[in-house]
Amino acid sequence: MRLVGFLLCTVLLLVGACDSKGGSMTKDEQFAELMKRPDIEQVEADYLKLLEDIRTELVSRIGIAPWIPKDEPITGSGCGDFPNIGGNVRRYSSGHSPGNLPDAKWADAVKIVETAAARQGFELHGAVVDRPNDHEVTFGNDYGAELLFGTAANTTLSISTGCHLTRAAKERGTPG
């Protein structure tokens, strides 16, 4: 059920990004828009640090189990909302913290994530799932990034970036 919620949320974000961002722009306009954003390498460094800060805070302040990393924590693809420009979208998984985060600690945990995420421009968008022992919230930023934080059988944390040019594409200064 959480997978369905995640997929629905992802599809809605992608459809919204296509309609409101690159879908109605020329290639040069798309490139100019992406030039305003930090490059994907900078975003990766910022978001990996954000995930590390959140994991550390949750373990030390909430008392959840240490995180078990995923074998392939970073995946990527081209940008669906800015096609043929040389942009990238990356997904960063924190793996999981074994076990459920008790309902009594959920609000405090969300506040920790919200405070840390705000430093990178993320705002709480709301609950994807909210029922006893099964919660997931989503945060987003102006670049179309999404941070997901949830708990059920395990506690999970991940970020999917919005579309960003590579450093090389920004240095090149023109669409690919």
When divided into structural domains, the chain yields a total of: 1
Contact 148, 126 (CB under 8 A): no
Residue by residue, pLDDT tens for the chain (176 residues) are 444 344 334 433 443 333 335 557 888 899 999 999 999 999 999 999 999 999 999 999 999 999 999 999 999 999 888 887 888 999 999 999 999 999 999 999 999 999 999 999 999 999 999 999 999 999 999 999 999 999 999 999 999 999 999 999 899 888 86
DSSP state, 7?
Answer: H
Using an 8 Å Cβ cutoff, are 91 and 98 in contact? Answer: no
Q: What is the pTM of this model?
A: 0.84
Q: Give the residue numbers spanning the domain of 159.
A: 2-172
What CATH number has the domain bearing residue 43? 3.30.2030.20
